[in-house]
Chain A
Amino acid sequence: MNEALSAPLDAPVAEPAVPKIRLRGLRKAFGPKKVLDGVDLDVMPGSSMVILGGSGSGKSVTIKCILGLITPDSGTIEIDGRNVLAMSAREREAVLDRTGMLFQNGALFDSLPVWENVCFKLLAQKRLDRRQARDKAAQALADVGLDASVGDLSPAELSGGMQKRVALARAIASEPEIIFFDEPTTGLDPIMGAVIDGLIVDCVKRLGATAVTITHDMASARRIGDHAAMIHQGRIVWTGPAATLGQTGNPIVDQFARGEREGPIKMELRR
Protein backbone atom coordinates (compact mmCIF):
# COMPACT_ATOMS: atom_id res chain seq x y z
CA MET A 1 0.00 0.00 0.00
CA ASN A 2 2.66 2.38 1.09
CA GLU A 3 4.96 1.33 -1.71
CA ALA A 4 2.28 1.73 -4.35
CA LEU A 5 1.77 5.29 -3.19
CA SER A 6 5.39 6.27 -3.09
CA ALA A 7 6.35 4.92 -6.51
CA PRO A 8 4.49 7.49 -8.67
CA LEU A 9 5.68 10.25 -6.34
CA ASP A 10 9.31 9.30 -6.85
CA ALA A 11 9.06 8.71 -10.55
CA PRO A 12 8.70 12.29 -11.89
CA VAL A 13 11.66 13.43 -9.81
CA ALA A 14 14.05 10.82 -11.19
CA GLU A 15 12.71 10.58 -14.73
CA PRO A 16 13.39 13.81 -16.67
CA ALA A 17 16.95 14.40 -15.52
CA VAL A 18 19.65 13.89 -18.15
CA PRO A 19 22.71 12.33 -16.50
CA LYS A 20 25.52 14.81 -15.98
CA ILE A 21 27.95 12.12 -17.09
CA ARG A 22 26.94 9.11 -19.11
CA LEU A 23 29.39 6.44 -20.24
CA ARG A 24 28.41 3.70 -22.65
CA GLY A 25 30.57 0.83 -23.80
CA LEU A 26 33.84 2.56 -22.96
CA ARG A 27 36.81 0.48 -24.08
CA LYS A 28 40.50 1.15 -23.76
CA ALA A 29 43.46 -1.16 -24.21
CA PHE A 30 47.13 -0.37 -23.75
CA GLY A 31 48.81 -2.68 -26.21
CA PRO A 32 47.46 -6.18 -25.61
CA LYS A 33 46.21 -5.22 -22.16
CA LYS A 34 42.49 -4.50 -22.03
CA VAL A 35 41.98 -2.05 -19.20
CA LEU A 36 38.41 -0.93 -19.87
CA ASP A 37 36.15 -3.46 -21.53
CA GLY A 38 32.75 -1.83 -21.90
CA VAL A 39 32.24 0.55 -19.00
CA ASP A 40 28.66 1.86 -18.58
CA LEU A 41 28.03 4.49 -15.95
CA ASP A 42 25.52 7.25 -15.20
CA VAL A 43 26.17 10.08 -12.78
CA MET A 44 23.18 12.30 -12.04
CA PRO A 45 23.53 16.09 -11.68
CA GLY A 46 24.25 17.19 -8.14
CA SER A 47 25.01 13.69 -6.98
CA SER A 48 28.17 12.22 -5.62
CA MET A 49 29.43 9.00 -7.17
CA VAL A 50 32.12 6.86 -5.61
CA ILE A 51 34.08 4.49 -7.85
CA LEU A 52 35.59 1.44 -6.22
CA GLY A 53 37.89 -1.18 -7.65
CA GLY A 54 41.12 -2.99 -7.11
CA SER A 55 44.47 -1.42 -7.77
CA GLY A 56 45.11 -1.27 -11.50
CA SER A 57 41.48 -1.96 -12.41
CA GLY A 58 41.22 1.19 -14.55
CA LYS A 59 39.60 3.74 -12.27
CA SER A 60 42.05 6.50 -13.06
CA VAL A 61 41.94 5.62 -16.76
CA THR A 62 38.14 5.95 -16.72
CA ILE A 63 38.33 9.45 -15.26
CA LYS A 64 41.08 10.48 -17.66
CA CYS A 65 38.91 9.30 -20.55
CA ILE A 66 36.04 11.49 -19.35
CA LEU A 67 38.39 14.48 -19.16
CA GLY A 68 39.74 13.80 -22.64
CA LEU A 69 43.28 13.17 -21.39
CA ILE A 70 43.14 9.62 -22.75
CA THR A 71 41.24 8.81 -25.93
CA PRO A 72 39.17 5.65 -25.54
CA ASP A 73 39.27 3.02 -28.29
CA SER A 74 35.49 2.94 -28.54
CA GLY A 75 32.34 3.89 -26.66
CA THR A 76 30.62 7.18 -25.92
CA ILE A 77 31.08 9.79 -23.21
CA GLU A 78 28.24 12.23 -22.74
CA ILE A 79 28.31 15.26 -20.52
CA ASP A 80 24.94 17.00 -20.14
CA GLY A 81 23.69 14.72 -22.90
CA ARG A 82 26.32 15.78 -25.46
CA ASN A 83 28.95 13.43 -26.80
CA VAL A 84 32.33 14.80 -25.73
CA LEU A 85 34.27 12.70 -28.21
CA ALA A 86 32.46 14.34 -31.15
CA MET A 87 33.01 17.89 -29.90
CA SER A 88 35.29 20.46 -31.47
CA ALA A 89 38.38 21.45 -29.51
CA ARG A 90 36.72 24.72 -28.49
CA GLU A 91 33.56 23.07 -27.19
CA ARG A 92 35.68 20.65 -25.28
CA GLU A 93 37.61 23.49 -23.70
CA ALA A 94 34.31 24.98 -22.60
CA VAL A 95 33.44 21.69 -20.89
CA LEU A 96 36.86 21.54 -19.23
CA ASP A 97 36.41 25.11 -18.00
CA ARG A 98 33.58 23.83 -15.83
CA THR A 99 35.48 20.81 -14.55
CA GLY A 100 37.93 20.26 -11.74
CA MET A 101 40.29 17.36 -11.20
CA LEU A 102 42.38 16.17 -8.30
CA PHE A 103 45.12 13.92 -9.66
CA GLN A 104 46.12 10.82 -7.76
CA ASN A 105 49.69 12.08 -7.31
CA GLY A 106 48.73 15.73 -6.86
CA ALA A 107 50.41 16.93 -10.07
CA LEU A 108 51.24 20.32 -8.55
CA PHE A 109 53.34 22.64 -10.71
CA ASP A 110 56.72 22.62 -9.03
CA SER A 111 57.87 25.77 -10.81
CA LEU A 112 55.16 27.83 -9.09
CA PRO A 113 54.57 28.65 -5.42
CA VAL A 114 51.65 26.98 -3.70
CA TRP A 115 49.35 29.99 -3.88
CA GLU A 116 49.75 30.28 -7.65
CA ASN A 117 49.04 26.56 -7.95
CA VAL A 118 45.82 26.95 -5.99
CA CYS A 119 44.54 29.87 -8.06
CA PHE A 120 46.03 28.74 -11.37
CA LYS A 121 42.71 28.32 -13.15
CA LEU A 122 41.25 31.56 -11.81
CA LEU A 123 44.35 33.40 -13.02
CA ALA A 124 44.30 31.63 -16.38
CA GLN A 125 40.67 32.54 -16.90
CA LYS A 126 41.41 36.10 -15.70
CA ARG A 127 38.68 35.84 -13.08
CA LEU A 128 41.06 37.34 -10.51
CA ASP A 129 44.12 39.56 -10.59
CA ARG A 130 47.23 38.40 -8.78
CA ARG A 131 46.53 40.29 -5.55
CA GLN A 132 42.99 38.94 -5.29
CA ALA A 133 44.33 35.49 -6.11
CA ARG A 134 46.64 35.59 -3.10
CA ASP A 135 43.72 36.29 -0.76
CA LYS A 136 41.60 33.66 -2.43
CA ALA A 137 44.45 31.14 -2.10
CA ALA A 138 44.78 31.86 1.62
CA GLN A 139 41.07 31.18 1.98
CA ALA A 140 41.19 27.98 -0.05
CA LEU A 141 44.21 26.75 1.93
CA ALA A 142 42.40 27.43 5.20
CA ASP A 143 39.51 25.29 3.92
CA VAL A 144 41.82 22.30 3.56
CA GLY A 145 43.42 22.91 6.95
CA LEU A 146 46.61 24.62 5.81
CA ASP A 147 48.10 27.84 7.11
CA ALA A 148 48.21 30.84 4.77
CA SER A 149 52.01 30.90 5.11
CA VAL A 150 52.12 27.62 3.16
CA GLY A 151 51.11 29.67 0.12
CA ASP A 152 54.62 31.04 -0.31
CA LEU A 153 56.34 27.65 -0.22
CA SER A 154 57.12 25.62 -3.29
CA PRO A 155 55.27 22.28 -3.66
CA ALA A 156 58.55 20.38 -3.21
CA GLU A 157 58.77 21.74 0.34
CA LEU A 158 55.49 20.13 1.40
CA SER A 159 54.81 16.70 2.85
CA GLY A 160 52.84 14.22 0.76
CA GLY A 161 49.62 14.83 2.67
CA MET A 162 50.04 18.60 2.42
CA GLN A 163 50.58 18.31 -1.34
CA LYS A 164 47.38 16.32 -1.60
CA ARG A 165 45.47 19.00 0.26
CA VAL A 166 46.94 21.77 -1.90
CA ALA A 167 45.95 19.77 -4.98
CA LEU A 168 42.44 19.45 -3.56
CA ALA A 169 42.30 23.18 -2.93
CA ARG A 170 43.40 23.76 -6.53
CA ALA A 171 40.74 21.39 -7.89
CA ILE A 172 37.88 23.16 -6.14
CA ALA A 173 39.11 26.77 -6.09
CA SER A 174 37.42 27.56 -9.41
CA GLU A 175 34.11 26.18 -8.09
CA PRO A 176 33.59 23.76 -10.98
CA GLU A 177 30.33 22.05 -11.90
CA ILE A 178 31.89 18.62 -12.20
CA ILE A 179 34.71 17.55 -9.93
CA PHE A 180 36.81 14.41 -10.11
CA PHE A 181 38.75 13.29 -7.06
CA ASP A 182 41.30 10.55 -7.58
CA GLU A 183 41.97 9.15 -4.11
CA PRO A 184 41.57 12.42 -2.20
CA THR A 185 42.27 11.00 1.25
CA THR A 186 45.06 8.52 0.52
CA GLY A 187 48.08 9.47 2.60
CA LEU A 188 46.18 11.62 5.08
CA ASP A 189 45.71 10.92 8.76
CA PRO A 190 42.18 9.76 9.72
CA ILE A 191 41.08 13.11 11.14
CA MET A 192 42.30 15.07 8.13
CA GLY A 193 40.68 12.43 5.95
CA ALA A 194 37.36 13.12 7.61
CA VAL A 195 37.86 16.87 7.18
CA ILE A 196 38.53 16.40 3.47
CA ASP A 197 35.49 14.17 3.12
CA GLY A 198 33.44 16.92 4.74
CA LEU A 199 34.89 19.42 2.27
CA ILE A 200 33.94 17.26 -0.69
CA VAL A 201 30.40 16.78 0.62
CA ASP A 202 30.23 20.52 1.13
CA CYS A 203 31.29 21.16 -2.48
CA VAL A 204 28.51 18.98 -3.72
CA LYS A 205 25.90 20.48 -1.37
CA ARG A 206 26.91 24.14 -1.46
CA LEU A 207 28.04 24.47 -5.08
CA GLY A 208 25.56 21.93 -6.39
CA ALA A 209 28.49 20.24 -8.10
CA THR A 210 28.53 16.73 -9.44
CA ALA A 211 31.35 14.73 -7.90
CA VAL A 212 33.08 11.54 -8.94
CA THR A 213 35.45 10.18 -6.34
CA ILE A 214 37.82 7.25 -6.49
CA THR A 215 38.64 5.85 -3.09
CA HIS A 216 39.81 2.70 -1.37
CA ASP A 217 38.54 3.82 2.01
CA MET A 218 35.09 2.38 2.76
CA ALA A 219 34.34 4.75 5.62
CA SER A 220 35.14 7.65 3.39
CA ALA A 221 33.14 6.13 0.52
CA ARG A 222 30.04 5.96 2.72
CA ARG A 223 30.58 9.52 3.93
CA ILE A 224 31.15 11.06 0.49
CA GLY A 225 28.98 9.04 -1.83
CA ASP A 226 25.31 9.01 -2.66
CA HIS A 227 25.98 6.23 -5.12
CA ALA A 228 28.82 3.82 -5.58
CA ALA A 229 30.01 1.79 -8.54
CA MET A 230 32.40 -1.11 -8.54
CA ILE A 231 34.76 -1.66 -11.47
CA HIS A 232 36.14 -5.15 -11.95
CA GLN A 233 37.84 -6.72 -14.95
CA GLY A 234 37.17 -3.68 -17.11
CA ARG A 235 33.45 -3.37 -16.41
CA ILE A 236 31.13 -1.83 -13.87
CA VAL A 237 29.85 -4.91 -12.06
CA TRP A 238 27.63 -3.15 -9.55
CA THR A 239 26.08 0.23 -8.83
CA GLY A 240 23.96 1.11 -5.86
CA PRO A 241 23.61 3.34 -2.82
CA ALA A 242 26.94 3.98 -1.13
CA ALA A 243 25.36 3.50 2.29
CA THR A 244 24.84 -0.20 1.63
CA LEU A 245 28.51 -0.92 0.92
CA GLY A 246 29.51 -4.04 2.80
CA GLN A 247 26.04 -5.60 2.69
CA THR A 248 25.04 -5.19 -0.93
CA GLY A 249 24.46 -8.86 -1.56
CA ASN A 250 26.89 -8.71 -4.50
CA PRO A 251 29.73 -11.06 -3.59
CA ILE A 252 32.39 -9.07 -5.46
CA VAL A 253 31.48 -5.76 -3.84
CA ASP A 254 31.03 -7.26 -0.41
CA GLN A 255 34.37 -8.99 -0.52
CA PHE A 256 36.03 -5.77 -1.64
CA ALA A 257 34.25 -3.60 0.95
CA ARG A 258 35.06 -5.93 3.80
CA GLY A 259 38.60 -6.55 2.59
CA GLU A 260 38.30 -10.33 2.72
CA ARG A 261 40.91 -12.61 1.20
CA GLU A 262 38.45 -15.30 0.20
CA GLY A 263 35.86 -14.55 -2.46
CA PRO A 264 35.26 -14.07 -6.17
CA ILE A 265 38.11 -11.53 -6.54
CA LYS A 266 41.33 -13.48 -6.87
CA MET A 267 44.39 -11.41 -6.16
CA GLU A 268 47.06 -12.35 -8.62
CA LEU A 269 49.85 -12.93 -6.15
CA ARG A 270 52.91 -14.89 -7.08
CA ARG A 271 54.43 -17.08 -4.46
Chain B
Amino acid sequence: MSSSSLLARPLDGLAALGRAVLDLCRTAGAVTLFALNAVSHAVRPPFHPRLLLRAFLEVGYFSLPVVGLTAVFTGMVLALQSFSGFSRFGAEGAVANVVVLSITRELGPVLAGLMVSGRIGAAFAAEIGTMRVTDQIDALTTLSTDPIKYLVTPRLLAATLAMPLLVLVADVLGVMGGYLIATLKLGFSGPTYLKATLDFVQMTDVVSGLVKAAVFGFVVALMGTWCGYNSRGGAQGVGGATTKAVVASSILILALDYVLTEAFFSR
Protein backbone atom coordinates (compact mmCIF):
# COMPACT_ATOMS: atom_id res chain seq x y z
CA MET B 1 0.00 0.00 0.00
CA SER B 2 2.55 2.57 1.12
CA SER B 3 5.20 1.31 -1.25
CA SER B 4 2.85 1.57 -4.19
CA SER B 5 1.93 5.14 -3.26
CA LEU B 6 5.62 5.99 -2.88
CA LEU B 7 6.18 4.61 -6.33
CA ALA B 8 3.18 6.42 -7.69
CA ARG B 9 4.30 9.86 -6.57
CA PRO B 10 7.20 10.35 -8.98
CA LEU B 11 5.08 8.80 -11.71
CA ASP B 12 2.31 11.31 -10.93
CA GLY B 13 4.79 14.10 -11.35
CA LEU B 14 5.92 12.64 -14.66
CA ALA B 15 2.33 12.26 -15.79
CA ALA B 16 1.56 15.88 -14.93
CA LEU B 17 4.64 17.00 -16.83
CA GLY B 18 3.65 14.86 -19.79
CA ARG B 19 0.15 16.26 -19.73
CA ALA B 20 1.46 19.82 -19.69
CA VAL B 21 3.77 19.11 -22.63
CA LEU B 22 0.94 17.47 -24.57
CA ASP B 23 -1.32 20.44 -23.82
CA LEU B 24 1.37 22.81 -25.03
CA CYS B 25 1.82 20.81 -28.25
CA ARG B 26 -1.92 20.71 -28.81
CA THR B 27 -2.23 24.46 -28.32
CA ALA B 28 0.75 25.14 -30.58
CA GLY B 29 -0.81 22.96 -33.27
CA ALA B 30 -4.18 24.67 -32.92
CA VAL B 31 -2.61 28.13 -33.11
CA THR B 32 -0.65 27.12 -36.21
CA LEU B 33 -3.77 25.84 -37.98
CA PHE B 34 -5.63 28.99 -36.96
CA ALA B 35 -2.83 31.16 -38.37
CA LEU B 36 -2.62 29.18 -41.63
CA ASN B 37 -6.37 29.40 -42.06
CA ALA B 38 -6.35 33.16 -41.46
CA VAL B 39 -3.41 33.77 -43.80
CA SER B 40 -4.99 31.66 -46.54
CA HIS B 41 -8.01 33.99 -46.44
CA ALA B 42 -5.72 36.89 -47.32
CA VAL B 43 -5.45 35.62 -50.89
CA ARG B 44 -9.02 34.35 -51.34
CA PRO B 45 -11.84 36.75 -52.18
CA PRO B 46 -14.00 38.36 -50.93
CA PHE B 47 -11.66 40.88 -49.33
CA HIS B 48 -12.48 43.41 -46.65
CA PRO B 49 -10.34 46.50 -47.41
CA ARG B 50 -12.44 48.64 -45.09
CA LEU B 51 -11.65 46.40 -42.12
CA LEU B 52 -7.98 46.20 -43.10
CA LEU B 53 -7.75 49.99 -43.18
CA ARG B 54 -9.46 50.31 -39.82
CA ALA B 55 -7.12 47.80 -38.20
CA PHE B 56 -4.11 49.42 -39.89
CA LEU B 57 -5.00 52.81 -38.44
CA GLU B 58 -5.56 51.24 -35.06
CA VAL B 59 -2.16 49.54 -35.02
CA GLY B 60 -0.05 52.00 -36.98
CA TYR B 61 -1.46 55.44 -36.39
CA PHE B 62 -2.98 55.31 -32.94
CA SER B 63 0.03 53.51 -31.46
CA LEU B 64 2.36 56.28 -32.65
CA PRO B 65 2.27 58.42 -29.47
CA VAL B 66 3.01 55.63 -27.04
CA VAL B 67 5.65 53.96 -29.22
CA GLY B 68 7.20 57.34 -30.06
CA LEU B 69 7.48 58.35 -26.41
CA THR B 70 8.98 55.00 -25.52
CA ALA B 71 11.58 55.38 -28.27
CA VAL B 72 12.56 58.96 -27.33
CA PHE B 73 13.07 58.14 -23.68
CA THR B 74 14.93 54.94 -24.50
CA GLY B 75 17.28 56.87 -26.76
CA MET B 76 17.85 59.45 -24.02
CA VAL B 77 18.59 56.83 -21.39
CA LEU B 78 20.89 54.93 -23.73
CA ALA B 79 22.94 58.06 -24.38
CA LEU B 80 23.29 58.81 -20.67
CA GLN B 81 24.10 55.25 -19.67
CA SER B 82 26.61 54.55 -22.39
CA PHE B 83 28.29 57.89 -21.76
CA SER B 84 28.72 57.25 -18.04
CA GLY B 85 29.70 53.63 -18.62
CA PHE B 86 32.14 54.21 -21.47
CA SER B 87 33.82 57.18 -19.83
CA ARG B 88 35.56 54.66 -17.54
CA PHE B 89 37.48 53.44 -20.62
CA GLY B 90 37.70 56.86 -22.15
CA ALA B 91 35.46 55.64 -24.94
CA GLU B 92 32.79 58.37 -24.75
CA GLY B 93 32.98 58.78 -28.51
CA ALA B 94 31.11 55.52 -29.00
CA VAL B 95 27.85 56.94 -27.61
CA ALA B 96 26.36 57.67 -31.03
CA ASN B 97 27.23 54.17 -32.26
CA VAL B 98 25.80 52.44 -29.22
CA VAL B 99 22.58 54.42 -29.39
CA VAL B 100 21.88 53.82 -33.06
CA LEU B 101 22.88 50.17 -32.98
CA SER B 102 20.81 49.32 -29.90
CA ILE B 103 17.79 51.19 -31.13
CA THR B 104 17.66 49.88 -34.68
CA ARG B 105 18.67 46.30 -33.97
CA GLU B 106 17.00 45.61 -30.63
CA LEU B 107 15.19 48.18 -28.58
CA GLY B 108 13.15 49.75 -31.38
CA PRO B 109 11.42 46.55 -32.46
CA VAL B 110 11.30 44.88 -29.03
CA LEU B 111 9.96 47.84 -27.07
CA ALA B 112 7.52 48.76 -29.84
CA GLY B 113 6.41 45.13 -29.91
CA LEU B 114 5.82 45.08 -26.16
CA MET B 115 3.95 48.39 -26.20
CA VAL B 116 1.82 47.26 -29.14
CA SER B 117 1.14 43.95 -27.43
CA GLY B 118 -0.27 45.84 -24.44
CA ARG B 119 -2.30 48.14 -26.63
CA ILE B 120 -3.31 46.12 -29.66
CA GLY B 121 -3.07 42.50 -28.51
CA ALA B 122 -5.28 43.34 -25.54
CA ALA B 123 -7.74 45.30 -27.68
CA PHE B 124 -8.02 42.52 -30.28
CA ALA B 125 -8.57 39.89 -27.58
CA ALA B 126 -11.20 41.98 -25.82
CA GLU B 127 -13.08 42.90 -29.00
CA ILE B 128 -13.17 39.42 -30.45
CA GLY B 129 -13.70 37.80 -27.04
CA THR B 130 -16.74 39.99 -26.42
CA MET B 131 -18.08 39.07 -29.83
CA ARG B 132 -17.59 35.41 -28.97
CA VAL B 133 -19.43 35.49 -25.64
CA THR B 134 -22.30 37.58 -27.02
CA ASP B 135 -22.88 35.17 -29.95
CA GLN B 136 -21.75 37.76 -32.49
CA ILE B 137 -19.26 35.31 -34.00
CA ASP B 138 -22.01 32.73 -34.42
CA ALA B 139 -24.16 35.46 -35.93
CA LEU B 140 -21.44 36.14 -38.52
CA THR B 141 -21.55 32.50 -39.57
CA THR B 142 -25.32 32.59 -40.01
CA LEU B 143 -24.95 35.79 -42.06
CA SER B 144 -22.80 34.11 -44.73
CA THR B 145 -19.54 35.57 -43.45
CA ASP B 146 -16.52 33.56 -42.38
CA PRO B 147 -15.57 34.92 -38.94
CA ILE B 148 -11.88 34.17 -39.47
CA LYS B 149 -11.84 36.05 -42.75
CA TYR B 150 -13.84 38.92 -41.31
CA LEU B 151 -12.24 39.30 -37.89
CA VAL B 152 -8.80 37.69 -37.90
CA THR B 153 -7.27 38.10 -41.36
CA PRO B 154 -7.53 41.91 -41.56
CA ARG B 155 -6.02 42.30 -38.10
CA LEU B 156 -3.11 39.93 -38.82
CA LEU B 157 -2.33 41.67 -42.10
CA ALA B 158 -2.65 45.14 -40.63
CA ALA B 159 -0.37 44.43 -37.69
CA THR B 160 2.26 42.73 -39.87
CA LEU B 161 2.33 45.67 -42.28
CA ALA B 162 2.02 48.49 -39.76
CA MET B 163 4.64 47.39 -37.26
CA PRO B 164 7.69 47.93 -39.53
CA LEU B 165 6.48 51.45 -40.32
CA LEU B 166 5.91 52.10 -36.65
CA VAL B 167 9.41 50.85 -35.82
CA LEU B 168 10.96 52.96 -38.56
CA VAL B 169 9.48 56.01 -36.86
CA ALA B 170 10.61 54.69 -33.48
CA ASP B 171 14.18 54.28 -34.82
CA VAL B 172 14.29 57.91 -35.92
CA LEU B 173 12.79 59.17 -32.66
CA GLY B 174 15.10 56.98 -30.57
CA VAL B 175 18.19 58.33 -32.32
CA MET B 176 16.80 61.83 -31.85
CA GLY B 177 16.39 61.20 -28.14
CA GLY B 178 20.03 60.17 -27.93
CA TYR B 179 21.02 63.19 -30.01
CA LEU B 180 19.16 65.56 -27.68
CA ILE B 181 20.93 64.29 -24.56
CA ALA B 182 24.30 64.04 -26.29
CA THR B 183 24.21 67.61 -27.58
CA LEU B 184 22.34 69.37 -24.75
CA LYS B 185 23.77 67.57 -21.76
CA LEU B 186 26.90 65.65 -22.67
CA GLY B 187 28.53 68.35 -24.76
CA PHE B 188 28.75 66.59 -28.16
CA SER B 189 28.58 68.75 -31.23
CA GLY B 190 25.38 68.13 -33.19
CA PRO B 191 26.85 67.59 -36.69
CA THR B 192 29.61 65.29 -35.37
CA TYR B 193 27.09 63.16 -33.49
CA LEU B 194 24.83 62.86 -36.53
CA LYS B 195 27.75 62.07 -38.82
CA ALA B 196 28.96 59.38 -36.42
CA THR B 197 25.47 57.91 -36.37
CA LEU B 198 24.97 57.88 -40.13
CA ASP B 199 28.48 56.62 -40.90
CA PHE B 200 28.19 53.80 -38.45
CA VAL B 201 24.70 52.44 -39.05
CA GLN B 202 24.34 49.83 -41.77
CA MET B 203 21.44 48.73 -43.89
CA THR B 204 21.34 45.30 -42.23
CA ASP B 205 20.90 46.89 -38.80
CA VAL B 206 17.78 48.71 -39.87
CA VAL B 207 16.38 45.95 -42.08
CA SER B 208 16.85 43.25 -39.45
CA GLY B 209 14.95 45.46 -37.02
CA LEU B 210 12.12 45.92 -39.48
CA VAL B 211 11.88 42.20 -40.16
CA LYS B 212 11.69 41.65 -36.42
CA ALA B 213 8.97 44.27 -36.25
CA ALA B 214 6.88 42.51 -38.88
CA VAL B 215 7.23 39.19 -37.05
CA PHE B 216 6.32 40.78 -33.71
CA GLY B 217 3.32 42.49 -35.26
CA PHE B 218 2.11 39.17 -36.61
CA VAL B 219 2.65 37.47 -33.25
CA VAL B 220 0.83 40.17 -31.30
CA ALA B 221 -2.17 40.09 -33.62
CA LEU B 222 -2.18 36.29 -33.73
CA MET B 223 -2.16 35.93 -29.95
CA GLY B 224 -4.79 38.65 -29.52
CA THR B 225 -7.17 37.23 -32.08
CA TRP B 226 -6.61 33.62 -31.04
CA CYS B 227 -7.19 34.22 -27.34
CA GLY B 228 -10.26 36.32 -28.10
CA TYR B 229 -11.64 33.85 -30.60
CA ASN B 230 -11.39 30.99 -28.12
CA SER B 231 -12.57 32.82 -25.04
CA ARG B 232 -15.40 31.34 -23.02
CA GLY B 233 -17.67 32.35 -20.23
CA GLY B 234 -18.71 35.98 -20.06
CA ALA B 235 -16.83 39.04 -18.90
CA GLN B 236 -14.43 37.02 -16.80
CA GLY B 237 -13.51 34.84 -19.77
CA VAL B 238 -12.84 37.91 -21.89
CA GLY B 239 -10.66 39.38 -19.15
CA GLY B 240 -8.70 36.15 -18.96
CA ALA B 241 -8.29 36.07 -22.73
CA THR B 242 -6.94 39.62 -22.70
CA THR B 243 -4.36 38.83 -20.03
CA LYS B 244 -3.33 35.64 -21.78
CA ALA B 245 -2.91 37.46 -25.09
CA VAL B 246 -0.60 40.09 -23.61
CA VAL B 247 1.48 37.64 -21.58
CA ALA B 248 1.83 35.13 -24.43
CA SER B 249 2.73 37.71 -27.04
CA SER B 250 5.25 39.44 -24.73
CA ILE B 251 7.05 36.19 -24.00
CA LEU B 252 6.95 35.14 -27.66
CA ILE B 253 8.38 38.52 -28.68
CA LEU B 254 11.37 38.11 -26.35
CA ALA B 255 11.94 34.49 -27.36
CA LEU B 256 11.61 35.17 -31.07
CA ASP B 257 13.88 38.17 -30.70
CA TYR B 258 16.64 35.82 -29.63
CA VAL B 259 15.91 33.41 -32.48
CA LEU B 260 15.89 36.18 -35.08
CA THR B 261 19.05 37.78 -33.72
CA GLU B 262 20.73 34.41 -33.90
CA ALA B 263 19.56 34.02 -37.48
CA PHE B 264 20.69 37.49 -38.57
CA PHE B 265 23.93 38.11 -36.75
CA SER B 266 25.62 34.89 -35.71
CA ARG B 267 28.07 33.45 -38.12
Chain A interface residues toward B at CB < 8 A: 64, 67-69, 93, 96-97, 99-101, 103-105, 107-111, 120-121, 124-126, 170, 174
Please state if A96 and B135 are interface contacts (CB–CB under 8 Å): no
Please state if B144 and A121 are interface contacts (CB–CB under 8 Å): yes
Tell me which residues across on chain B come within 8 A of A67, comparing CB atoms.
Answer: 138, 141-142
What are 8 inter-chain pairs, A to B, with CB distance below 8 A?
A64-B138, A67-B141, A69-B138, A101-B139, A105-B135, A108-B139, A126-B46, A170-B143
Q: Which of A100, A107, A124, A170 contacts B135 (CB 8 A)?
A: A107
Please state if B145 and A103 are interface contacts (CB–CB under 8 Å): no
Q: Separation in Å of the B70 CB from the closest CB of chain A?
A: 28
Residue B134 lies at the interface, judged by CB distance under 8 Å to chain A: yes
Please state if A125 and B144 are interface contacts (CB–CB under 8 Å): yes
Q: CA A22 – CA B144 in complex, angstroms?
A: 22
Tell me which residues across on chain A come within 8 A of B141, comparing CB atoms.
Answer: 67-69, 96
Q: Which of A68, A69, A108, A124 contacts B144 (CB 8 A)?
A: A124
Q: Separation in Å of the A9 CB from the closest CB of chain B?
A: 39
Q: Separation in Å of the B34 CB from the closest CB of chain A?
A: 16
Please state if A109 and B136 are interface contacts (CB–CB under 8 Å): yes
Please state if B145 and A124 are interface contacts (CB–CB under 8 Å): yes
Render B42-67 as a binary contact track against A, CB cut-off 8 A, 1 for contact.
Answer: 00001000000000000000000000
Q: Separation in Å of the A6 CB from the closest CB of chain B?
A: 41
Please state if B143 and A103 are interface contacts (CB–CB under 8 Å): no
Please state if A96 and B138 are interface contacts (CB–CB under 8 Å): no
Please state if B136 and A107 are interface contacts (CB–CB under 8 Å): yes
| A96-B141, A99-B142, A124-B46 known, 18 other contacts, Cβ within 8 Å | A64-B138, A67-B142, A69-B138, A69-B142, A93-B144, A97-B144, A101-B139, A103-B139, A104-B135, A105-B135, A107-B135, A109-B136, A109-B140, A110-B136, A121-B145, A125-B144, A126-B46, A174-B143
Tell me which residues across on chain B come within 8 A of A125, comparing CB atoms.
Answer: 144
Q: Separation in Å of the A154 CB from the closest CB of chain B?
A: 14
Please state if A103 and B144 are interface contacts (CB–CB under 8 Å): no
Residues of B141-194 at the interface with A, using a CB-CB cut-off of 8 Å, are 141-145
Whose C-beta in chain A lies nearest to the C-beta of B145?
Answer: A124
Whose C-beta in chain B lies nearest to the C-beta of A64?
Answer: B138
Q: CA A176 – CA B139 in complex, angstroms?
A: 15
Whose C-beta in chain B lies nearest to the C-beta of A89?
Answer: B146
Q: Separation in Å of the A62 CB from the closest CB of chain B?
A: 14
Whose C-beta in chain B lies nearest to the C-beta of A101?
Answer: B142
Q: CA A84 – CA B140 in complex, angstroms?
A: 19
Q: Which of A64, A101, A107, A170 contacts B134 (CB 8 A)?
A: A107
Whose C-beta in chain B lies nearest to the C-beta of A121?
Answer: B143
Q: CA A100 – CA B141 in complex, angstroms?
A: 10
Q: CA A100 – CA B139 in complex, angstroms?
A: 9
Tell me which residues across on chain B come within 8 A of A69, comparing CB atoms.
Answer: 138, 141-142
Q: Separation in Å of the A30 CB from the closest CB of chain B?
A: 11
Whose C-beta in chain A lies nearest to the C-beta of B51?
Answer: A111
Q: CA A109 – CA B128 in complex, angstroms?
A: 11
Q: Which of A99, A103, A110, A121 contacts B138 (CB 8 A)?
A: A103
Please state if A124 and B138 are interface contacts (CB–CB under 8 Å): no
Tell me which residues across on chain A come within 8 A of B134, comparing CB atoms.
Answer: 105, 107
